[in-house]
Structure 1
Amino acid sequence: MDINQVDIEKIVQQVLSQMGDQKPDGRKQTAPQSFSIPKRAKVAMMTDLRKIEVKEFDIPEIGDDEMLVKVEGCGICGTDVHEYKNDPFGLIPVVLGHEGSGQIVKMGKNITQDTTGKPLALGDKIVTCTIPCGKCDACLNMREKDNLCENSGIYGLMPEDDHYHFNGWFSEYLVIRKGSTFFKVNDMSLKLRLLIEPAAVVVHAVERAKSTGLLTFNSNVAIQGLGPIGLMLLAVIRTMGVENIIAIDGDEKRLQMAKRFGAKYTMNFKNYKDLDEQVRRLKELTSGRGADFAFQCTGVPAAASNVWKFVKRGGGLAEIGFFVDNGCCSINPHHDICKKEITMVGSWTYKVSDYPITFDFLRRAVGIGLPIEELITHEYSLDQMNEAMDTNMKQLGIKIAYINKN
């Protein structure tokens, strides 16, 4: 058989290729992924109140302790909307978005694993948590409460005043900086990954509630406010086995979703002439006692005042609705606190250690059939972010999300 030089070269290349696909133990070796990274990419930058513009920047060089992530999408949070309307944090100009997920496309040589120690590789899907400062009182003296870091960095809430530019998830790419906390989440769908951050907010709140010793399997639990946080909270306590749940809101569509998430009863506060009628109805649903535990999930001061009336004597309350200053509310210290001897806890964002618990919650929620992914009701592209914000402000859906289809 005649074999010419070209044939020999092909055979040699084939053999070498096959040898390269084998590990020393004979198992097939997967070639490392590589990605085509553009020189420039787009961000949706908030440049003024109620104004987001698409801008393009050079993608910076990635340092040894950094990563470049291609953004897959990001949920829109109520905090984003507050910033969009009023800039309470003084961040303008800013690239918002902190509920995102993306794929690692470039890694510094010192990046080998995520925050829990899982090995990382190009192509892995990740979500980010916080960037603790390591210098404040919480970081130095209360390490189990890193959520109280006074200078915590959060992607999507960083002013656009440095060379990175890709600081928020409302963009095509994100630069993960040194000192960040992040988690590999390859085993979850995109929608679940976009719900991790708000789910972590709720998981932290439930852990705070459990610290009172008043949240048990047979508790009568009232949840006031059925936005993404309230519905997610309902899902968390359902996965814990709590069944006696009363969901309170003024939107019938959200009340119906609450029933699908496992609420035993729903109350539309608009159907009652005053707070006294609401309290009477809630007591009817709890054998005349009131709620053993209540979660206040709105950012409305009047609601924060009303919720105290729903809690029975000796009961508990968790306030998780105010991540920005929406004003003060009035309570009666005698009737609402002392006479009832209520145990109240506040809840602020989440700890890094809440994230692994959150992953288990989401897997459990899917496993028992809760329609968790249906919380995402609207999807928008990067150049539609003003429209997305408007949809959120009008409460036309539940969770609004940016999806990067490029």
Structure 2
Amino acid sequence: MELNSIDIESIVKQVISEVSGDKGQEVKGIDRVSSPVVPKRAKVAMLTEKRKIEVKEFEIPDISDDEMLIKVEGCGICGTDVHEYKNDPFSLIPVVLGHEGTGEIVKIGKNINQDTVGNSIGIGDKIVTCTIPCGECHNCLTMSDRDNLCENSGIYGLIADDDKKFNGWFSEYLIIRKGSTYFKVNDMDLKTRMLIEPAAVAVHAVERAKSTGLLSFNSNVIIQGCGPIGLMVMAVVRTMGVENIIAVDGDINRLEMAKKLGAKHTVNFRHYKDNEQLKLRIKEITKVGADFAFQCTGVPQAAANIWGFVKRGGGLCEVGFFVDNGNCSINPHFDMCNKEITAVGSWVYKVSDYPITLDFLRRAKGINLPVNDLITHEYPLDELNEAMDTNMKQTGIKIAYVNK
């Protein structure tokens, strides 16, 4: 076998990395920005018009000293991706979607040597990205501990097309820009890594719920909506030790998954003629109503109904409305004041939620919660239109793109 200088350099890198025991360490004498495995051109799945994703090929640009190039391994498909795919509510077209992604560092700028929490990183490390706070808006300047409320926050997969091209995880490669937040996750398998971002949404929601002081070991907790986020919220609540969990949904398969993730009771709302009958069933289970409820659907009527499931003095967290799906009507007297309900909203996640999320996923695995089973379908890059269709039909739970 003939070896050229690039092959020899690659072997030397691997040997030194294995001897050092830390892939994140910089190796003296080796250019950390080079990689023998990176092609000159790569493909992206670009949303070019509503309901139309096209695979396009572009030249991979050089990265700066403050950037990284990631070889994409996989990315979950989010409800937000579907909203953008159907209606372009963010006016991003043309855009490369995908924000639940993960991959391997193949090029790294000389100014980068650690992730957001100080772990050493280098070529070969597995990574996930979080948000890109602007650091300049009023909220960033006055509420530094709530960077999820940044007015100009960026997130890969929701960045409009520009000269970099590789802006979303629905691609073969991703360029991570200066100012980004990212975490090394070498100890996690691909499926788990693809679930980190939705898990962070769930962790943030539960942290918001905990801020009310109404969530404890013996709480009766309702989770309405057993899509990927609702089921992940359920898993987070279960890892906290809460056992009295009630799942409400209209899909048999999702309710079965809810049982696997810790629901003691499942309620199929389709079996009840109206919300009053559904409320009676909830009271039958809880005696007086839920101590706390998570509303995880994007359905206005469901957002109105859930107030009736909560007991006097209970709490509620609204998780389900990331985009404008319309208004709902509640009765302020009966739904809020008379019962003195404490309600909180939850908006994506903070950068500081990510380390908590990683610990949650490790804990979930430790107690044998099958969170990886949430991923039911995998598609290659050139079948992302079909993947979106599967998501919209709700024939699975979590749909994912995997770069094989």
TM-score, normalised relative to structure 1: 0.92
Residue of structure 1 in register with 2:346 after alignment: 347
Query: What aligned pairs does 1:201-240 form with structure 2 within 5 A after superposition?
Result: 201-240=201-240
Residue of structure 2 in register with 1:172 after alignment: 172
Residue of structure 1 in register with 2:116 after alignment: 115
Measure, in 2, the Cα distance between the counterparts of 1:63 and 1:293: 48
Q: Secondary structure at the match of 1:144?
A: coil
Structure 2 stretches of 5 or more lacking a match? 1-10, 22-26
Amino acid aligned to 2:258: A
Select the structure of larger CA radius of gyration: 1
Residue of structure 2 in register with 1:272 after alignment: 272
Amino acid aligned to 1:348: W
Q: Secondary structure at the match of 1:143?
A: coil
Question: Residue by residue, what CA displacement relative to the aligned partner does 1:272-291 show, whole Å, maximum 9, x if unpaired?
Answer: 0110010001001012x000
Q: Secondary structure at the match of 2:302?
A: helix
Measure, in 2, the Cα distance between the counterparts of 1:379 and 1:139: 37
Query: What aligned pairs does 1:200-349 form with structure 2 within 5 A after superposition?
Result: 200-287=200-287, 289-349=288-348
Measure, in 1, the Cα distance between the counterparts of 2:319 and 2:49: 28
Identity of aligned residues (%): 73
Measure, in 1, the Cα distance between the counterparts of 2:37 and 2:44: 18
Measure, in 2, the Cα distance between the counterparts of 1:35 and 1:103: 14
Measure, in 2, the Cα distance between the counterparts of 1:213 and 1:89: 35
Q: Secondary structure at the match of 1:45?
A: strand
Measure, in 2, the Cα distance between the counterparts of 1:185 and 1:116: 12
Q: CA deviation at 1:137?
A: 1.2
Amino acid aligned to 1:215: L
Residue of structure 1 in register with 2:44 after alignment: 43
Q: CA deviation at 1:59?
A: 0.2
Q: Secondary structure at the match of 2:145?
A: helix
Measure, in 2, the Cα distance between the counterparts of 1:348 and 1:235: 19
Measure, in 2, the Cα distance between the counterparts of 1:275 and 1:36: 58
Amino acid aligned to 1:294: A
Residue of structure 1 in register with 2:67 after alignment: 66
Q: CA deviation at 1:330?
A: 0.4
Q: CA deviation at 1:35?
A: 3.7
2:375 corresponds to 1:379:
no
Query: What aligned pairs does 1:20-59 form with structure 2 within 5 A after superposition?
Result: 28-29=19-20, 34-59=35-60
Measure, in 2, the Cα distance between the counterparts of 1:29 and 1:126: 20
Residue of structure 1 in register with 2:7 after alignment: none
Amino acid aligned to 1:97: G
Measure, in 2, the Cα distance between the counterparts of 1:21 and 1:180: 30
Residue of structure 2 in register with 1:129 after alignment: 130
Amino acid aligned to 1:298: T
Structure 1 stretches of 5 or more lacking a match? 1-16
Amino acid aligned to 2:381: L
Q: Secondary structure at the match of 1:188?
A: coil
Amino acid aligned to 1:381: P
Q: CA deviation at 1:75?
A: 0.1
Q: How many residues align?
A: 383
Measure, in 1, the Cα distance between the counterparts of 2:331 and 2:67: 51
Q: CA deviation at 1:22?
A: 8.2
TM-score, normalised relative to structure 2: 0.93
Residue of structure 2 in register with 1:356 after alignment: 355
Measure, in 2, the Cα distance between the counterparts of 1:349 and 1:262: 23
Q: Is the alpha carbon distance of 1:213 and 1:40 closer, same or farther for their aligned partners in structure 2, counting shifts above 3 Å?
A: same
Residue of structure 2 in register with 1:395 after alignment: 394
Query: What aligned pairs does 1:179-194 form with structure 2 within 5 A after superposition?
Result: 179-194=179-194
Q: CA deviation at 1:29?
A: 4.7
Residue of structure 2 in register with 1:105 after alignment: 106
Measure, in 2, the Cα distance between the counterparts of 1:22 and 1:39: 26
Amino acid aligned to 2:314: G
Measure, in 1, the Cα distance between the counterparts of 2:103 and 2:257: 28
Question: Residue by residue, what CA displacement relative to the aligned partner does 1:137-167 show, whole Å, maximum 9, x if unpaired?
Answer: 111010000000000010000111x210000
Q: CA deviation at 1:235?
A: 0.4
